[in-house]
Amino acid sequence: ILLFLLLFFFFVFFFSRRETMDGWMPSLEHTELETWEKVYEPAEDTYLLMDALYKDREMIIAVCPIVIFELGSGSGVISVYMNRLLSNENLRPCIQIAIDINEYATKLTKDTANKNNCLNIDTISSDLLFSFCQNKRYVDIIIFNPPYVTTSVPNKNTYINDNISASWAGGPQGRFVIDRLLHHSNNFTSCLTPNALFYLLLSDENNPTEVIQLLQARGFTDTTVVLSRNVMNVC
């Protein structure tokens, strides 16, 4: 049974201090201030996703993943966090693939992995999963923190490698990239194993109910809100 795990990210006007349940954050000492001019800097949504993975670790352990994909890896902290989480649970080493259309992000993800001694994280510069869906069911977990912020009708020129706004600008309802994945003719679920997990972060403005319906049409029979949090809009 494909399982879709929904993370709500609400916008309100106060600052919510990060409280990661296991108290660990991947090192980013190798970055500089200029790094974040080209790559999305970890923010409250990043921390929410890490906390959700920690909270849902028993489900992850039960799947005993062999292949994990992260879409839009950015700085790489989510993939590194997942790597450490699995290591702490004494699970067998798995294949982790971090994908980002931004070549600066894939390089930074690799640097972050190396800095944190995570040598089994591979990076690929690609557009979502479109190069990997070939009706071969080999992916156990997908993690996706998409560009979800509601903006004006997206210009395709926004989504070029060196435009930082592409990491957060989501178009109408913040759904431009999300819908590209869900509506693609090459169904991304064709590469998922029968008990695969899909962690997707959404904002309330993304119309989560409709997203759930789209995913159910793709074969996801179970949906769960793993974690929700009220935070300020950091973009």
| Model pLDDT for residues 110-128, shown as the tens digit of each residue | 999 999 999 889 999 988 8
Q: Confidence class of residue 134 from pLDDT cuts 50, 70 and 90?
A: low
pLDDT mean across residues, the chain: 82
The confidence score (pLDDT) of residue 182 equals 85
- Distance, in Å, from the CA atom of 56 to the CA atom of 218, rounded to the nearest integer, reads 23
The confidence score (pLDDT) of residue 135 equals 63
Max Cα-Cα span within the chain: 46
Q: Confidence class of residue 234 from pLDDT cuts 50, 70 and 90?
A: very low
| Model pLDDT for residues 73-118, shown as the tens digit of each residue | 999 999 999 999 988 776 777 899 999 999 999 999 999 999 999 9
Is the pLDDT assigned to residue 13 strictly greater than 50? Answer: no
Query: Which residue type, as a one-letter code, is found at position 122?
Result: D
Is the pLDDT assigned to residue 223 strictly greater than 50? Answer: yes
Is the pLDDT assigned to residue 231 strictly greater than 70? Answer: no
Is the pLDDT assigned to residue 20 strictly greater than 50? Answer: no
Is the pLDDT assigned to residue 68 strictly greater than 90? Answer: yes
The confidence score (pLDDT) of residue 99 equals 95
Higher-pLDDT residue of 18, 140: 140
Q: Confidence class of residue 200 from pLDDT cuts 50, 70 and 90?
A: very high
| Model pLDDT for residues 149-183, shown as the tens digit of each residue | 888 865 455 554 457 888 888 888 889 999 988 88
3-state secondary structure the chain: CEEEEEEEEEECCCCCCCCCCCCCCCCCCCCCHHHHHCCCCCCHHHHHHHHHHHHCHHHHHHHCCCEEEEECCCCCHHHHHHHHHHHHCCCCCCEEEEEECCHHHHHHHHHHHHHCCCCCEEEEECCCCCCCCCCCCCEEEEEECCCCECCCCCCHHHHCCCCHHHHCECCHHHCHHHHHHHHCCCCHHHHEEEEEEEEEEEEHHHCHHHHHHHHHHCCEEEEEEEEEEEECCCC
